[in-house]
């Protein structure tokens, strides 16, 4: 059973009394005066954001949200301000409080995809990085605005160091739970913990449950999947197998944390499939478009003005987008 976030945070607060040192004008004698510390703000309650009244409408762009200009430029092109901004941080990077604050001040929930390069999940689980994790968590708690964290995404693939070729599901789960406990220990409960597997091959069945840290440690299931020339061009065809598999062991809200459509003759239809599928699925709370140029494909919408126009038309649906600061 999960304790309420506010209870966990209060239990984590220091109980030591403060002492104020005062001095009189006519004496060099100092005296200690007991004082009551001003109460620390409770951690932001993220629970209302887990099941929002509308759908999240997000994007990932280079340099955002530390700089918001890439987001504003994208918003001008598609006619709507995104309310979810995905950023990527390597293990060892400091917490980008400026970027997180920029996103929040723009009415968007920031997401940190935390990628454990240059270490192993076993070392993380055994506490070798605890000072780093604790400092990161303390910075998150100090900022005290909601953020989502996706740790070691695509763990069920073989292309990442923390994936299937070099680590086991048990190591992955142990590392996830350890990080989660460190955050709770410092009272950083203003986090939406987002477990993000890559979609399984369409039309197949793969057991993802060994990688699942458990409902106690997960708030969102953040799927990663793209429309490509060699995959189905329907929402159910692309995501259906994975959603069915996850239904076996989790009822947490789903979000497409990283998605896109390969440029070409199928793209307009893929965009319609994406929006229609997310719109129809009550369990899916939104999506984030991966607007980057990578070696496999140029996922940026701007590669084709007609695609931008179609995306703009679909995004005009009032179901997409809301100011996250007004939820709750």
Alpha carbon separation from 58 to 80, 128, 141, 151 (Å, rounded): 10, 34, 24, 18
Mean pLDDT of the chain: 90
- The pair of structure tokens assigned to 192 is 């939406």
Single out the residue of 283, 292, 289 nearest to residue 321, CA to CA. Answer: 289
In the predicted structure, residue 172 carries a pLDDT above the cut 60? yes
Residue with tokens 């009394």: 17
The helix/strand/coil state of 55 is: strand
CATH placement of domain 44-326: 3.20.20.80
In this predicted model, which residue has the larger pLDDT, 22 or 237? 237
Query: Cα–Cα distance between 319 and 325 in angstroms, integer?
Result: 17
Query: Cα–Cα distance between 207 and 218 in angstroms, integer?
Result: 18
Alpha carbon separation from 309 to 96, 233, 284 (Å, rounded): 33, 19, 24
Single out the residue of 317, 314, 284, 311 nearest to residue 52, CA to CA. Answer: 284
Q: What's the pLDDT at 204?
A: 87
Single out the residue of 46, 82, 77 nearest to residue 65, CA to CA. Answer: 82
22 Cβ contact list (under 8 Å, min separation 6): 30, 31, 33
Query: Cα–Cα distance between 38 and 157 in angstroms, integer?
Result: 48
Query: Cα–Cα distance between 60 and 112 in angstroms, integer?
Result: 11
- Answer yes or no: pTM beyond 0.75: yes
In this predicted model, which residue has the larger pLDDT, 204 or 299? 299
61 Cβ contact list (under 8 Å, min separation 6): 70, 71, 74, 291, 292
Dihedral (CA of 199, 203, 207, 213) sign: positive
Single out the residue of 198, 108, 91, 179 nearest to residue 147, CA to CA. Answer: 108
Could you tell me whether strands 284-290 and 191-195 are parallel, antiparallel, or unpaired per DSSP bridges?
Answer: unpaired
- The pair of structure tokens assigned to 287 is 């999506």
In the predicted structure, residue 302 carries a pLDDT above the cut 80? yes
Can you state the percent helix, strand and coil of the chain, rounding each to 5? 35, 20, 45
Q: What's the pLDDT at 323?
A: 97
CA angle 61, 321, 136 (to 5 degrees): 50
Alpha carbon separation from 165 to 43, 123, 155, 286 (Å, rounded): 38, 17, 10, 31
Which element (helix H / strand E) includes 319?
none
The helix/strand/coil state of 147 is: strand
* Residue boundaries of the structural domains of the chain: 44-326
In the predicted structure, residue 2 carries a pLDDT above the cut 70? no
Rounded mean pLDDT, 319-323: 97
Q: What's the pLDDT at 328?
A: 80
Residue with tokens 């070099």: 166
11-14 long-range CB contacts below 8 Å, 24 or more apart? Answer: 12/184, 12/185, 12/186, 12/187, 13/40, 13/187
Q: What's the pLDDT at 40?
A: 62
Q: What's the pLDDT at 28?
A: 30
Query: Cα–Cα distance between 301 and 291 in angstroms, integer?
Result: 7
């Amino acid at each position: 059973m999960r304790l309420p976030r506010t209870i966990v945070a209060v239990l984590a607060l220091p109980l030591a009394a403060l002492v104020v040192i005062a001095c009189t004008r006519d004496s060099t004698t100092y005296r200690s005066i007991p004082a009551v510390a001003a109460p620390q703000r409770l951690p932001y309650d993220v629970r209302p954001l887990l099941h929002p009244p509308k759908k999240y409408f997000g994007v990932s762009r280079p340099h955002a949200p530390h700089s918001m200009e890439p987001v504003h430029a994208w918003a001008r092109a598609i006619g709507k301000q995104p309310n979810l901004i995905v950023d990527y941080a390597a293990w060892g990077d400091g917490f980008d409080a400026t970027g997180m604050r920029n996103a929040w001040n723009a009415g968007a929930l920031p997401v940190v995809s935390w990628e454990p390069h240059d270490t192993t999940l076993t070392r993380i689980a055994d506490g070798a990085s605890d000072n780093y994790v604790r400092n990161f968590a303390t910075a998150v708690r100090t900022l005290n605005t909601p953020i989502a964290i996706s740790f070691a995404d695509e763990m069920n693939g073989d292309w990442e160091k923390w994936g299937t070729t070099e680590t086991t599901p048990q190591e992955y789960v142990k590392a996830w739970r350890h990080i989660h406990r460190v955050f709770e220990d410092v009272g950083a409960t203003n986090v939406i913990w987002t477990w993000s597997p890559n979609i399984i091959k369409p039309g197949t069945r793969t057991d993802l449950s060994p990688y699942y840290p458990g409902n106690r440690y997960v708030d969102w299931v953040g799927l990663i999947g793209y429309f490509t020339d060699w995959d189905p061009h329907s929402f159910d065809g692309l995501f259906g197998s994975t959603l069915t598999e996850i239904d076996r062991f989790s009822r947490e809200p789903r979000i497409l944390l990283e998605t896109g459509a390969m440029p070409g003759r199928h793209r307009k239809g893929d965009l319609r499939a994406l929006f229609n599928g997310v719109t129809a699925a009550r369990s899916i709370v939104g999506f984030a478009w991966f607007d980057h140029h990578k070696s496999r494909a140029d996922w940026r919408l701007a590669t084709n003005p007609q695609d931008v126009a179609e995306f703009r038309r679909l995004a005009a649906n009032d179901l997409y987008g809301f100011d996250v600061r007004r939820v709750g």
